[in-house]
Structure 1
Amino acid sequence: MAIRIVAAVAVLISAIIHLEQWILVFRDTPYVGPAMLTNFIVGLIIVALLLWWRTSRVPWVLTVLFGAATLGAFLISATVGLFGVHEHWTIWEVWVAAIVEVVAIITGLVGFAQRPAARR
């Protein structure tokens, strides 16, 4: 159960950071703006699935994919640029998001490796 909570918190923090960045920076940025808002919404859905759908491994797969896709997009943005956005490792939100995305990937893999809870 603890791994599920850690995964949910990691995904939630990442989602909130993406909402904050959408509001403050990317609201009017083509492609990246809608992706940031979508990331927030999908993150909330994954958190709900992690907390309430305990009989399936699907939430764990989604957690890994969420973390990997979000971290991957940021790394592309920080190296070669992504849709005209070239991010830098300068603000605290970037570091926190990167850390919680790694946590999401790791906890998602650990949770997936565990047996799903029995149906009640």
Structure 2
Amino acid sequence: MIGWVLRIVVAAALVGSAGVHYFLFTQGYPGIVTPLFLLNAIGGLVLAIAVLTWRHWLPALGALGFGVLTLGSYVLAATVGFLGQHDEFNSQPEYWSVITEVICIVGGIALLAMRNRAAVATAAR
């Protein structure tokens, strides 16, 4: 039961991040950033479906990696600049993106830990 609730929370965070990045895609940032926002939105949706439907460690790792890479890219953009973009932490999309990506990171770690714990318990029998 807890596993399903956690999967739903992680999938919702992935969809939330995908939605934010789709919104940013529609804003028409200059350069390569615009297509990367669309790629991020598609990746978030695909991972959300995988987290809900595939009971394997790869979707959990994907959610963790998605959160780390997306949050890391934003931190770079907000500090030293990334791919020609300099952001400030001052808008709703930025707030929601950081929240959803942190949930992806923590949830991905939790899903991996639960899977590892179940594997250890099965092996001990």
TM-score by length of 1: 0.91
What is the match of residue 82 of structure 2?
82
SS in 1 for 2:18: helix
Matched AA of 2:82 = L
In structure 1, what is the Cα distance between the partners aligned to 2:73 and 2:28?
16
Task: State the partner residue of 1:72.
Answer: 72
Q: Give the alignment's Cα RMSD to 1 decimal.
A: 1.5
Q: Give 1:25 shift.
A: 3.5
Q: Which has the higher helix share?
A: 2
Match of 1:7 among 7, 10, 34: 10
Percent identity, please. Answer: 33
Q: Find the aligned partners of 1:52 and 1:25 in 2 and give their Cα distance.
A: 33
Larger radius of gyration: 2
Find the counterpart in structure 1 of residue 51 from structure 2.
50
What's the offset of the Cα at 1:30? 1.7
- Give, in whole Å, the separation in 1 of the partners of 2:115 and 2:62: 16
Q: CA deviation at 1:115?
A: 2.3
> How many Å apart are 1:34 and its aligned residue?
1.4
Q: How many matched pairs?
A: 115
Determine the C-alpha separation between the residues in 1 that align with 2:84 and 2:96: 23
1:20: which partner in 2?
23
| TM-score normalised by the chain length of structure 2 | 0.87
For structure 2, the 5+ residue unaligned runs are 119-125
Tell me if 1:36 matches 2:40: no
Where structure 1 has 5 or more consecutive residues not aligned to the other structure, the ranges are none
Runs of 4+ aligned structure 1 residues displaced above 4 Å come to none
